[in-house]
Amino acid sequence: MSPQQSQDHTDDGLGGEQPFMSHLAELRDRLLRMVIAIAVVFLVLFPFANEIYTFVAGPIRAQLPEGSQMIATQVASPFLTPFKLALVVAVFVAMPYLLYQFWAFVAPGLYTHEKRLAVPLVSSSIVLFYLGMAFAYFVVFPLVFRFFTAVTPEGVAQMPDIAFYLEFVLKLFFAFGIAFEIPIATILLVAVGATTPKALAQKRPYVIVGVFVAGMLLTPPDVVSQTLLAIPMWLLFEAGIFFSRWFEKRQPTAAPDPDPAPAGGAGGGNPGSGGSSPAGSSRGGGGQPGSGPPGGGAVVGREIDGGDMDEPGRYRPMTAEEMDAELDAIEAEEAADAEAAQTPDEPDADDAAVSKSPEQARIEELIRSANERRAEGDTASARSLLYLVLEEGDADQRRVARNILADLDRD
């Protein structure tokens, strides 16, 4: 695990890595808390189960013909149906606490930026689910039951069964609650880089057809309820496209170098300078493979087909030989700069510039090790070594480390 990853996992005090059995014990404790929370809410609501059912049955009772009433066709229905409804309502009421327990279990395994994204999305998903249920109760149910009452054949007494009615309304509650989660799903797809708002907008015709098909499958077989579900789903899809623009995942780019470029990197004609680079060359000096843009900066990768350096996928990682050549080019660049600045009073300046201190040799070995780890697929270890180079290396070595990290982000 990289230092940054370890820091992110312990920022909020929820703890770092734990043994597998500790995770199982924590999961058991949180599941028990969820069950206890549902049981407590259910015990509070059960004495009012009949009143709750009367409230839920209000939309259909208001549309029944005069003299009609709901019936129970099974012996245990008058008890079991309100009991079932009270249990479902207890789950709905306890949902924020249940999601909090789930969040507390998974939060230690998330990065800090993932936590910042998850908290508002989870909160808004709860609110949208409740809004979907409210929309179904106050808007959809009156229109649907009025339609059913109007098309009842003459001579048929409409007396709905309480158990079938509860099954019907719960199905619609879940359908509209889930349908109202479309903006959250859209934002998540864009945030993880699976798609873009522009790509989603181009698929709008297919989405419109899809929401009407979903409305047909999730609602009773009538045009009214199908339309009342399909239109909000389409509008919520449009809202998701609009808000997802703030969560769109950008392509990572290398951080700008805060250190000034070496004297030979400004194109003054020294070996390795940007000014001596031929057109189409992949490095700024000497024609060495794998270097970067004009100005002496190093990019750890080789240009393919003359592509633009900012275009993703146009560079491949260096081999060990190319990395050695890159580091040798940096040393030659430093030696040339020292030679250009040498005065008669400093006869040993060239020897001092060419020789490497033990610290420089150690940092270069770290860069080579990071590139080898990356080639082996061990990106976490490679990042750890590169972070050390950023802390202890000189300007050129830090530039190499930053470009390797940028390459890892693109991978």
Q: What is the pLDDT of residues 67-80, one digit of tens each?
A: 788 998 888 899 99
Residue 113 in tokens: 């930026």
Give the DSSP per-residue string, 5-49: HHHHHHTTSS-S---HHHHHHHHHHHHHHHHHHHHHHHHHHGGGH
3-state secondary structure of 302: strand
C-alpha to C-alpha distance for 184 and 207, rounded to whole angstroms: 16
**Chosen domain end from 157, 180, 203:** 180
Whether 154 and 275 share a structural domain:
no
Q: Is the pLDDT of residue 112 over 50?
A: yes
C-alpha to C-alpha distance for 171 and 219, rounded to whole angstroms: 8
Domain count across the chain: 2
Q: Is the pLDDT of residue 394 over 50?
A: yes
| Domain annotation covers residue 189 | no
pTM metric for this prediction: 0.52
| Domain annotation covers residue 301 | yes
DSSP 8-state code for residue 355:
S
Q: What is the pLDDT of residues 278-323, one digit of tens each?
A: 333 334 444 444 444 444 444 444 444 444 444 444 445 666 677 7
**Chosen domain end from 139, 159, 180:** 180
> Is residue 341 very low, low, confident or very high in pLDDT (cuts 50, 70, 90)?
low
3-state secondary structure of 93: helix
Whether 274 and 143 share a structural domain:
no
**Chosen domain end from 180, 205, 226:** 180
| Domain annotation covers residue 294 | yes
| Domain annotation covers residue 391 | yes
Domain, as residue range, for 175:
3-180
Helices (H) and strands (E) in the chain, counts: 18, 2
Strand partners, 303: 315
Residue 238 in tokens: 């449009």
Whether 42 and 148 share a structural domain:
yes
Whether 23 and 148 share a structural domain:
yes
Cα dist from 112 to 37, 108, 381, 390, 403, whole Å = 29, 10, 20, 22, 24
